[in-house]
């Protein structure tokens, strides 16, 4: 921003430039940054940032987050994810059921929410019991892949 647009230009010639004669404008009177979070800024930290200080639970030294990564989806979204033409192909039948690879689409587990009424072959890492029952009842199959 050019100097002429700074607010301070209006205060030129006025002794304290809006910072008062008694308290004075010192550099960092409360400390820099997050200083004093447990001391003189305690009220602000407790009010607006509860839980900022401290620890919870046990440490796990070699945490492998990938082991618990299991994106899920429900049966009713199966054909939305599969792409265009898959539902029509499944409905037409002709003795062939389309194959839907969920891991390829970014989902590891298929859950049983919703209904399915056409036979499809679904590949995934995990299936819930209800999803498996519904797919088999519709004449499809569940293939487990690693």
Which stretches of 2-101 are DSSP H helices?
Answer: 42-48, 78-82, 86-92
What are the tens digits of pLDDT across the range 31-75?
A: 999 999 999 999 999 999 999 999 999 999 999 999 999 999 999
pTM for the model stands at 0.63
Which tokens in the block code for residue 47? 């009010």
> Tokens 């209904």 identify what position?
115
Phi, psi of 29 (to 5 degrees): -65, -25
pLDDT in tens, 103-127: 999 999 999 999 999 999 999 999 9
Q: Where are the alpha helices (DSSP H) in 6-141?
A: 42-48, 78-82, 86-92, 102-105, 129-137
């Amino acid at each position: 921003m050019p100097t002429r647009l700074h607010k301070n230009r209006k205060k030129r010639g006025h002794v304290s430039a809006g910072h008062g004669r008694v308290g004075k404008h010192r550099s960092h009177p409360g400390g820099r940054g997050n200083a004093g979070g447990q001391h003189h800024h305690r009220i602000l930290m407790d009010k607006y940032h509860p839980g900022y200080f401290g620890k919870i639970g046990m440490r796990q030294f070699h945490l492998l987050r990938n082991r618990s990564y299991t994106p899920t989806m429900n049966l009713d979204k199966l054909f939305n994810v599969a792409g265009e033409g898959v539902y029509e192909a499944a409905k037409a039948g002709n003795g062939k059921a389309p194959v839907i690879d969920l891991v390829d689409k970014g989902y590891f587990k298929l859950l049983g929410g919703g209904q399915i009424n056409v036979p499809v072959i679904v590949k995934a890492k995990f299936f819930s019991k209800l999803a498996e029952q519904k797919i088999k009842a519709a004449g499809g199959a569940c293939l487990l892949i690693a």
